[in-house]
């Protein structure tokens, strides 16, 4: 097939999947229907595999489809379906504007990729997700677009809104950014920096060095039915193909293509003056590739490990320093023994062993209560989302996160089910409360409570003070979020390590016949 | 409100004088002195829109309040993600009729917003108010982002000296306050004065600094052109959000007044005929600050039974 046609086919798929997956993470207005999310991520290898391991079913067979696709056509996934792969191609395109023509070079295949693959597999097998999550391309893409892309999209929207209001149209609404925690941005920021560095220096090295999905698909693509081949009889070793090879997998010296690293971009076919590079049925006569790559340089290794450590260290500077010198401060810290995991995740144990920390739910959550964690779940759950009640609270009528989760770490639930799931229990700290410290009315917690588990009961001087009935509390965090005290709240939600079922609030009938009443004034 | 912004704002206001931060004064929203036949109109026994029509007619029609070409802002209670039957938000049929009446009186544009407690898009949608306003030709505006709010001074306030107020309130010629009467866990009842908490950004400040005093203080800032209390369905307990439909009874009543304290006093009597309005703390405090008159015996009241 003509090389240009092959590339256009790749462009069409790449643009489609990139826009589709990006939309899931940038959509701050909730325009993408929640039930479309799972269909859109069905083909994504990482989430699909995790879902298959834990909740096996037809709906999680996307990764099998990709494996078959790779056996047929090589790693087309990496250039046409994987959002992080396409994102790197976009970076490479942008980088071209800023420099002279880049000549890419052949690199010997490295064995480091198998170390990363081994780490990812081990991580999946023992359910210690943090390692897998830091390597998986979908997770990384999600975190970059959710943590950095979405706020940017909101800022652009708000600027547009300001302009539209100036012209008197007021057609665009402004949106807030809640719970913006700089420490959680450090990791995605480091990854995008790494990607810019790697694409600038070495093209798609990430995909052949770090990415466990790329390495796994590389095992299949060695034996793919169709592949790109270099005709030794035509090749004059001019090196034009290798100069365009983003994967650095064409060796001019030996006139070999390392199919385990080829990402099927088809960029090498056109430049060959002898028409010696072709895409077609594989010959199956390849000499086996020798895996004798040299060690990854020390500096690179340091860079990656420091990225990880910085992400953790950033936590220290995380919480906002919101002291109020004019208003009295509360003194008793909220001591949460357990974090709160989202409704539908059933238990923290199940959640942290199945969540790939892609932050699709973080982007989709209309309340913005789901926020990336740092060490709330422990090292194992690094970056997995938790319910951040300082940022917001969980909408009583909403199950969006359970509809969008690509691994079903947050399992589908109905709104009626959700209203009964107890994520945690409200705990009242009387000595922080406005009512007991100032003797003035408050009750913001009780106002927001959807079940009146937090109720106002008589207190001194005709005042009323909160009282918690934990049996009907669902742990939505509305009370904690609404509580106005600083820096510590007077009411907070203690997470349930295993989600429980809340009791139903009582409903007495009100006896009153208004029609028989006279005017009261 | 961030403390630093607050201090910076306060300092700047002190340096420059009140001119820069005060957007007008308390009397701006008062109608251009139409002599009204009644201080308060109470209607019962009809659908919300019918009761409103009767009440406004008896005050000389909407034309007495809205002049041709004016910009109008209507502020219902849209605080909760809740259906009209649950009576946590103002009745959408009433809001629709009010928006229509404003246009019929010659309004150039009618805007509706609230700084909601639950997720704002869900509140706007599920309360039925978004559709009602659009059907009547009005515009729904967000109240969810801090950038909409600008600082004002409240010279007569005791605890609340400054607040950040939605720009629609600052820019409009006419301000119609349309609360729903409800039980409230913090302030006893929520009616017209408490509804104004939805035009400011930082409600936490009010909660930390004597909620009832702050509600009364804010009532001294500006008088809404009109207050219209929806008491068609009334939440008698578990307010302001409500737990189930069993918290609500149908009362089929409506009040209109230009006096925000008087209308709150009258609504208190609807909520419970035996309740003394002076026992609702923010009503007594606002009466003390002369934001209005809670003594119903001193008022000219038109009572209409349908």
To the nearest whole angstrom, how far is the Cα of B101 from the nearest Cα of chain A?
22
Confidence (pLDDT) at A58: 64
Enumerate the residues of chain A whose CB falls inside 8 A of the CB of residue B281.
441, 462
Confidence (pLDDT) at A473: 98
To the nearest whole angstrom, how far is the Cα of B130 from the nearest Cα of chain A?
14
For residue A426, give both structure tokens: 């409200």
Q: Mutate which of A320, A396, A520 to test chain B, going by most B C-beta atoms within 10 A?
A: A520
CA dihedral B97→B98→B99→B104, nearest 10 degrees, is: 90
Q: Where are the domains of chain B?
A: 3-7+35-305
Exposure string for B29-39, b = 16+ CB within 10 A, e = fewer: bebeeeebebb
Is the complex ipTM higher than 0.90? no
Q: Are B105 and B61 in contact (CB under 8 A)?
A: yes
pLDDT at B25 over 60: no
pLDDT per residue as tens digits for the range A246-293 = 999 999 999 999 999 999 999 999 999 988 999 988 875 444 443 333
pLDDT at A306 over 70: no
How far apart are the C-alpha atoms of B9 and B25, rounded to whole Å?
Answer: 18
**Does the beta-carbon distance from A170 to B119 stay under 8 Å?**
no
Q: Are A18 and A86 in contact (CB under 8 A)?
A: yes
A 6-65 residues with CB below 8 A of B? 30
Q: Is A172 on the interface with B (CB under 8 A)?
A: no
Q: Mutate which of A160, A164, A173 to test chain B, going by most B C-beta atoms within 10 A?
A: A173
Enumerate the residues of chain A whose CB falls inside 8 A of the CB of residue B187.
441, 443
> How big is chain B by its Cα radius of gyration, in Å?
18
Exposure string for B120-159, b = 16+ CB within 10 A, e = fewer: bbbbbebbbbbebbeebebbbbbbbbeebbbbbbbebbbb
How far apart are the C-alpha atoms of A74 and A264, rounded to whole Å?
Answer: 7
pLDDT per residue as tens digits for the range A485-506 = 999 999 999 999 999 999 999 8
pLDDT at B179 over 80: yes
Beta bridge partners of B250: B233
For residue B257, give both structure tokens: 């007044």
How far apart are the C-alpha atoms of A505 and A473, rounded to whole Å?
Answer: 9
CA angle B114, A27, A149 (to 5 degrees): 110
pLDDT per residue as tens digits for the range B227-244 = 999 999 999 999 999 999
**Does the beta-carbon distance from B3 to A322 stay under 8 Å?**
yes
Residue among A176, A505, A517 minimizing CB distance to B273: A517
pLDDT at B100 over 60: yes
Among A108-117, B6-15, B217-226, B245-254, which is the least confidently predicted range? B6-15
Minimal-distance CA residue of chain B relative to A515: B251
**Does the beta-carbon distance from A510 to B236 stay under 8 Å?**
yes
Higher pLDDT, A328 or B11: A328
**Does the beta-carbon distance from A440 to B187 stay under 8 Å?**
no
Mean pLDDT of chain A: 88
Q: Are B243 and B67 in contact (CB under 8 A)?
A: no
How far, rounded to the nearest angstrom, does the alpha carbon of residue A472 sit from its chain's CA centroid?
Answer: 32
Of B276, B175, B269, the closest CA to residue B219 belongs to B175
Residue among A175, A322, A462 minimizing CB distance to B145: A175
CB atoms within 10 A of CB A430: 14
Q: Among positive and negative, which fits the CA dihedral A369, A373, A375, A381? A: positive
Q: Is A488 on the interface with B (CB under 8 A)?
A: no
pLDDT at B10 over 80: no
Among A132-141, A223-232, A283-292, B277-286, which is the least confidently predicted range? A283-292
**Does the beta-carbon distance from A449 to B241 stay under 8 Å?**
yes
Query: Which stretch of DSSP H or E encloses residue A19?
Result: helix A3-26
What is the average pLDDT across B93-99?
98
pLDDT at B14 over 60: no
> How big is chain A by its Cα radius of gyration, in Å?
27
- Backbone angles phi and psi of B202, in degrees to 5: -95, 90
What is the average pLDDT across B30-41?
76
What is the average pLDDT across B212-225?
96
Enumerate the residues of chain B whose CB falls inside 8 A of the CB of residue A485.
208
Query: Which stretch of DSSP H or E encloses residue B252?
Result: strand B248-257
HEC readout, B126-179: HCCHHHHHHHCCCEECCCCCHHHEEEEECCCCCCCCEEEEEHHHHHCCEEEEEC
Burial (CB count <10 Å: 0-12, 13-18, 19+), residue A134: buried
Q: Mutate which of A30, A161, A447 to test chain B, going by most B C-beta atoms within 10 A?
A: A447
pLDDT at B166 over 90: yes
Residue A1 confidence class, pLDDT cut points 50, 70, 90: low
Q: Among positive and negative, which fits the CA dihedral B39, B43, B48, B52? A: negative
Minimal-distance CA residue of chain A relative to B149: A174
Q: Are strands B109-112 and B71-76 parallel, antiparallel or unpaired?
A: parallel
- Those residues whose C-beta lies under 8 Å from the C-beta of residue A298, and which sit 6 or more positions away, are none
pLDDT at B300 over 60: yes
Q: Are A421 and A444 in contact (CB under 8 A)?
A: no
pLDDT at B85 over 90: yes
Confidence (pLDDT) at B29: 60
Name the architecture of domain B3-7+35-305. 3-Layer(aba) Sandwich (3.40)
Higher pLDDT, A79 or A283: A79
CA dihedral A141→A144→A145→A151, nearest 10 degrees, is: 170
pLDDT at B283 over 80: yes
Going by the DSSP 8-state scheme, the letter that residue A146 receives in this structure is: I
By residue count, chain B amounts to: 306
Q: Are B211 and A439 in contact (CB under 8 A)?
A: no
Residue among A174, A512, A517 minimizing CB distance to B148: A174
Q: Are A277 and A256 in contact (CB under 8 A)?
A: no
Q: Is B94 helix (H, G, I), strand (E, B) or coil?
A: helix
CB atoms within 10 A of CB A27: 15
Q: Are B166 and B120 in contact (CB under 8 A)?
A: no
To the nearest whole angstrom, how far is the Cα of A509 from the nearest Cα of chain B?
6
Q: Are B141 and B111 in contact (CB under 8 A)?
A: yes
pLDDT per residue as tens digits for the range A234-250 = 999 999 999 999 999 99
**Does the beta-carbon distance from B241 to A30 stay under 8 Å?**
no
By residue count, chain A amounts to: 521
For residue A356, give both structure tokens: 């790939």
How far apart are the C-alpha atoms of A315 and A209, rounded to whole Å?
Answer: 28
Confidence (pLDDT) at A220: 95
For residue A51, give both structure tokens: 């879902």
To the nearest whole angstrom, how far is the Cα of B19 from the nearest Cα of chain A?
22
**Does the beta-carbon distance from A434 to B208 stay under 8 Å?**
yes
To the nearest whole angstrom, how far is the Cα of B62 from the nearest Cα of chain A?
25
Q: Is B67 helix (H, G, I), strand (E, B) or coil?
A: coil
Residue among B210, B251, B265 minimizing CB distance to A514: B251
Q: Mutate which of A441, A481, A511 to test chain B, going by most B C-beta atoms within 10 A?
A: A441
Confidence (pLDDT) at A38: 87
Confidence (pLDDT) at A181: 83
Going by the DSSP 8-state scheme, the letter that residue A509 receives in this structure is: P
Of A27, A60, A15, A171, the closest CA to residue A411 belongs to A60
Confidence (pLDDT) at A57: 66
HEC readout, A39-59: HHHCCCHHHHHHHHHHHCCHH
Distances (CA, A) of A325 to A447, B84, B289: 27, 42, 28
CB atoms within 10 A of CB A324: 15
Q: Among positive and negative, which fits the CA dihedral B189, B190, B192, B197? A: positive
How far apart are the C-alpha atoms of A421 and A396, rounded to whole Å?
Answer: 11
Q: Mutate which of B8, B83, B243 to test chain A, going by most A C-beta atoms within 10 A?
A: B243
Higher pLDDT, A358 or A61: A358
Confidence (pLDDT) at A293: 37
For residue A454, give both structure tokens: 């937090």
A 145-164 residues with CB below 8 A of B? 158, 162
pLDDT per residue as tens digits for the range A140-199 = 999 999 999 999 999 999 888 888 877 766 678 888 888 878 888 999 999 999 999 999
Residue with tokens 């208003």: A327
Minimal-distance CA residue of chain B relative to A366: B119
Enumerate the residues of chain A whose CB falls inside 8 A of the CB of residue B266.
521
Q: Are B111 and B171 in contact (CB under 8 A)?
A: no
Set out the domains of chain A in order of their start, with CATH numbers. 3-281 (no CATH), 424-491 (3.30.70.20)
pLDDT at A326 over 60: no
Distances (CA, A) of A5 to A8, A9, A87, A243: 5, 6, 21, 21
Residue among B42, B81, B246 minimizing CB distance to A509: B246
């Amino acid at each position: 097939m003509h090389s240009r046609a092959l590339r256009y086919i790749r462009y069409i798929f790449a643009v489609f999947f990139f826009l589709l997956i990006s939309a899931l993470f940038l959509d701050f207005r909730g325009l993408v229907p929640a039930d479309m999310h799972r269909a859109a991520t069905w083909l994504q290898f990482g989430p699909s595999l995790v879902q298959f391991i834990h909740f096996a079913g037809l709906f999680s067979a996307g990764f099998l489809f990709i494996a078959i696709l790779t056996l047929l056509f090589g790693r087309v996934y990496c250039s046409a379906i994987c959002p992080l792969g396409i994102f790197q191609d976009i970076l490479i395109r942008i980088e071209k504007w800023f420099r002279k023509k880049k000549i890419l070079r052949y690199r010997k295949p490295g064995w480091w990729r198998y170390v990363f693959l081994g780490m990812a597999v081990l991580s999946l097998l023992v359910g210690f997700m943090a390692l897998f999550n830091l390597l998986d391309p979908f997770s990384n893409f999600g975190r970059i677009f959710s943590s950095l892309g979405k706020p940017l999209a909101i800022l652009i929207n708000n600027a547009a809104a300001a302009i539209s209001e100036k012209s008197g149209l007021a057609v665009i609404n402004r949106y807030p950014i809640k719970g913006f925690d700089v420490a959680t941005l450090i990791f995605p920021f480091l990854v995008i920096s790494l990607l810019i560095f790697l694409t600038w220096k070495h093209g798609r090295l990430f995909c052949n060095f770090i990415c466990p999905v790329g390495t796994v698909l590389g095992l299949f693509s060695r034996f793919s039915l169709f592949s790109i081949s270099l005709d030794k009889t035509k090749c004059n070793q001019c090196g034009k193909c290798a100069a365009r090879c983003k994967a650095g997998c064409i060796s001019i010296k030996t006139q070999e293509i390392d199919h385990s690293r080829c990402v099927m971009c088809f960029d090498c076919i056109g430049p060959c003056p002898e028409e010696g590079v072709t895409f077609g049925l594989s010959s199956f006569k390849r000499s086996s590739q020798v895996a004798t790559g040299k060690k990854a340089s020390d500096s690179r290794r340091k860079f990656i490990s420091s990225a990880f450590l910085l992400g953790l260290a950033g936590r220290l500077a995380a919480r906002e320093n919101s002291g109020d010198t004019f208003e009295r401060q509360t003194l008793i810290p909220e001591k949460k023994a357990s974090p709160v995991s989202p409704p539908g995740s059933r238990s923290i144990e199940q959640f942290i062993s199945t969540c790939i920390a892609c932050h699709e739910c973080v982007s989709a959550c209309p309340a913005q209560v789901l926020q990336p964690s740092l060490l709330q779940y422990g090292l194992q759950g690094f970056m997995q989302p938790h319910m951040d009640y300082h940022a917001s609270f969980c909408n009583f009528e909403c199950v969006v996160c359970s509809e969008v989760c690509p691994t079903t770490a947050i399992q589908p639930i109905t709104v009626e089910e959700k209203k009964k799931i107890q994520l945690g229990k409200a705990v009242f700290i009387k000595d922080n409360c406005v009512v007991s410290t100032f003797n003035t009315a408050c009750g913001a917690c009780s106002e927001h409570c959807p079940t009146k588990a937090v109720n106002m009961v008589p207190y001194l001087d005709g005042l009323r003070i909160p009282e918690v009935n934990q049996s009907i509390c669902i742990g939505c965090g509305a009370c904690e979020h609404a509580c106005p005290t600083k820096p510590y709240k007077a009411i907070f939600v203690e997470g349930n390590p295993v989600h429980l079922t809340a009791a139903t609030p009582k409903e007495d009938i009100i006896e009153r016949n208004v029609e028989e009443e006279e005017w009261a004034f | 409100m961030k403390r630093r912004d607050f201090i910076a704002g306060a300092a700047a206001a002190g340096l420059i004088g009140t001119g820069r931060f005060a957007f007008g004064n308390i009397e701006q929203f008062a109608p251009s002195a139409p002599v009204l036949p009644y201080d308060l109109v109470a209607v019962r026994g009809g659908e919300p829109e019918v009761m409103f029509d009767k009440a406004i007619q008896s005050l000389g029609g909407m034309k007495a309040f809205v002049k041709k070409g004016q910009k109008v802002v209507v502020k219902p209670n849209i605080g909760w993600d809740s259906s009209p039957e649950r009576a946590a938000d103002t009745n959408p049929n009433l809001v629709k009729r009010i928006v229509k009446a404003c246009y019929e009186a010659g309004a150039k544009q009618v805007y509706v917003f609230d700084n909601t407690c639950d997720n704002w898009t869900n509140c706007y949608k599920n309360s039925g108010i978004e559709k009602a306003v659009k059907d009547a030709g009005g515009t729904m505006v967000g109240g969810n982002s801090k950038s909409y709010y600008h600082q004002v001074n409240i010279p007569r306030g005791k605890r609340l000296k400054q607040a950040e107020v939605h720009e629609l309130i600052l820019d409009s010629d006419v301000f119609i306050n349309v609360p729903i009467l409800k039980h409230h866990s913090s302030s006893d009842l929520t009616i017209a004065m408490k509804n104004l908490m939805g035009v400011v950004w930082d409600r936490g400040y009010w909660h930390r600094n004597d909620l009832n005093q702050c509600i009364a203080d804010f009532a001294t800032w500006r008088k809404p052109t009109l207050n219209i209390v929806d008491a068609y369905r009334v939440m008698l307990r578990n307010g302001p959000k409500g737990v189930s439909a069993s918290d609500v009874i149908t009362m089929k009543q409506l009040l209109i007044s230009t006096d925000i304290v008087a209308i709150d006093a009258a609504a208190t009597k609807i909520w419970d005929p035996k309740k003394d309005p002076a026992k609702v703390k923010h009503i007594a405090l606002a009466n003390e600050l002369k934001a209005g008159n809670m003594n119903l015996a001193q008022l000219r009241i038109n009572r209409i039974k349908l």
